[in-house]
Amino acid sequence: MVQRFLEGVRVLDLSQYVPGPYAALILADLGADVVKIEPPGGEPMRRLAGPCDSDGISPLYKVVNGGKTVIELDLKSMAGRAQFEALIRAADAMIESYRPGVLDRLGFERECLQSLNPRLVHTALSGWGQTGPYRLKAGHDINYMSLGGGLIASGSAEAPTIAWPPVADYASGIQAAASTLAALVSRARTGKGAFIDLSLAETVLAWQSGSLTTSFRRESAPERAGNLLNGGAACYNIYRTEDAHFVSIGNIEEKFWANFCAVVGREDWIPRQWESFPQKKLIAEVQNLFASRPLSHWEALFAEVDHCFEPIREFTELPDHPQIAARGLLQRTQAPEPRVEVRYPAWIDGSPPPPRRGVSFGTADEVLAAWTRAA
């Protein structure tokens, strides 16, 4: 089962907000014993991101920290430092999201961590990376997307569009989890830990090789709503229905575009699939078609047609959607406040992912006692 893959692996999570906690959540879902270390009073995410639950904690904090044990440590105190050192000695991996230099000022520079535990896989997740002129610059997802190329070709022809959920945050979390796992595999061969310097902005930048290559060849650089995949094509776009719902079609393959055109009685559109981008005239014609009928009409018409069509669903529709329900990834909690979590997104050996336990709170002494017993 998925939760056993990392059984026995101990991870310290010193990160905040979304990127690092999401990386650690992935490791927890895969079976790691994740202990989240927060400053006295807890990290800011406990009280951010919308109304808090009756216990004063944000539901978003709970869902991104599920499966972890949270402890509070004052790393500026002698007692807190001593407990942290003991945890470092016993850990396999650590994910942190301090600004570069913060751990050094706390007395836990790279050399110190290596001396405490040479086998430690240390993943430092920061906005811009540990080096370079931006290393200490403040930022959030929207800023990392701006420099990493994630916004320049996204949105309408008039302006870029902010993506939701925050792309750099979650993408870097996945990248951090993957890098940590790779380093653990290497450690199994060499016995040596690793220091991984991972940047949110560079996670997005890593996706831009195609766009960069096109631009530097002095060909037509990607522009907003100007190419096949970002709103410039009629066959791959979003349209509004008569009753103000939105639908997507993704008929890149010619057979799917032909099937769509045939069923709506517009075979004359078939040879126009690859007109020059942006296909403003053809897009407007397809939009007029969708605007002529309500969503229910299009769902019924396309029910048995082999082409790429899907309504854009509201969040409230997702839990009961037959495909999502059949996969069993959603986990609902009703009390004391309703919450919906998405379990690890993979079936393993024919079985869906198991339920994820909620976030729990403890102390460093309790964690160290449990780790000592397990050893």
Give the span between the Cα atoms of 375 and 373, in whole angstroms: 5
Average pLDDT of the residues in 345-363: 92
Q: Over the stretch 177-206, which tens digit does the pLDDT of each residue have?
A: 999 999 999 999 999 999 999 999 999 999
Instruction: Kindly report the backbone phi and psi dihedral angles of residue 117, in degrees, each rounded to the nearest multiple of 5, phi listed first.
Output: -155, 90
Q: Which region among 25-29, 54-58, 119-123 has the lowest average model confidence (pLDDT)?
A: 54-58
* SS3 assignment, position 37: strand
Strands 93-96 vs 10-14: parallel, antiparallel or unpaired: parallel
- Write down the pLDDT at residue 49: 65
Q: What pLDDT, on the 0 to 100 scale, is given for residue 77?
A: 96
On the question of pLDDT at 231 being above 60, the answer is yes
Place of tokens 């010193």: 14
The values of phi and psi at residue 102, to 5°, are -65, -45
Q: Strand 330-333 relative to strand 339-342: parallel, antiparallel, unpaired? A: antiparallel
Q: Residue for token digits 């017993």? A: 373
Catalytic-role residue among 13, 29, 169, 307: 169
Lowest mean pLDDT among 4-18, 82-96, 222-236, 261-275: 222-236
Least confident of 36-50, 126-140, 183-197, 285-299: 36-50
Tokens of 239: 């349209």
Question: Average pLDDT of 22-44?
Answer: 96
Q: Which amino acid is at 209?
A: S
Evaluate if residue 264 carries a pLDDT over 90.
yes
The fraction of the chain above a pLDDT of 90, given in percent, is: 84
The mean per-residue pLDDT over the stretch 304-320 comes to 95
The yes-or-no answer on residue 297 being catalytic is: no
Lowest-confidence pick of 119-128, 129-138, 293-302, 338-347: 338-347
Binned at pLDDT 50, 70 and 90, residue 2 comes out as: low
pLDDT at 1 over 60: no
Task: Look over the chain and give the mean of its residue pLDDT values, rounded to a whole number.
Answer: 94
Q: At what angle do helices 364-374 and 78-90 cross, to 10 degrees?
A: 30
CA distances from 201 to 18, 55, 64, 151, 205 (A): 14, 35, 21, 12, 6
List pLDDT tens digits, range 243-252: 999 999 999 9
Find the mean pLDDT for residues 282-295. Answer: 98
Show me where the domains of the chain are located. Answer: 2-207+331-374, 236-240+246-311
The one-letter amino acid at 99: R
pLDDT given for residue 214 in this prediction: 84
Could you tell me the sign of the dihedral formed by the alpha carbons of 26, 99, 49, 35, in that order? Answer: positive
Fold of 236-240+246-311: formyl-coa transferase, domain 3 (3.30.1540)
Q: How far apart are CA 198 and CA 179, in angstroms?
A: 9
Q: How many CA atoms lie within 13 A of 355 on its CB side?
A: 7
Residue type at 196? I
Instruction: State mean pLDDT over 138-151.
Output: 94
Query: Would you call 29 a catalytic residue per the annotation?
Result: no
Interval 254-278 mean pLDDT: 97
CATH 3.40.50.10540 fits 2-207+331-374, yes or no: yes
Q: What six digits make up the tokens of 8?
A: 């026995």
Q: What is the pLDDT of residue 14?
A: 98
Instruction: Check residue 3 and give its pLDDT.
Output: 66
Span between the terminal Cα atoms of the chain, in Å: 23
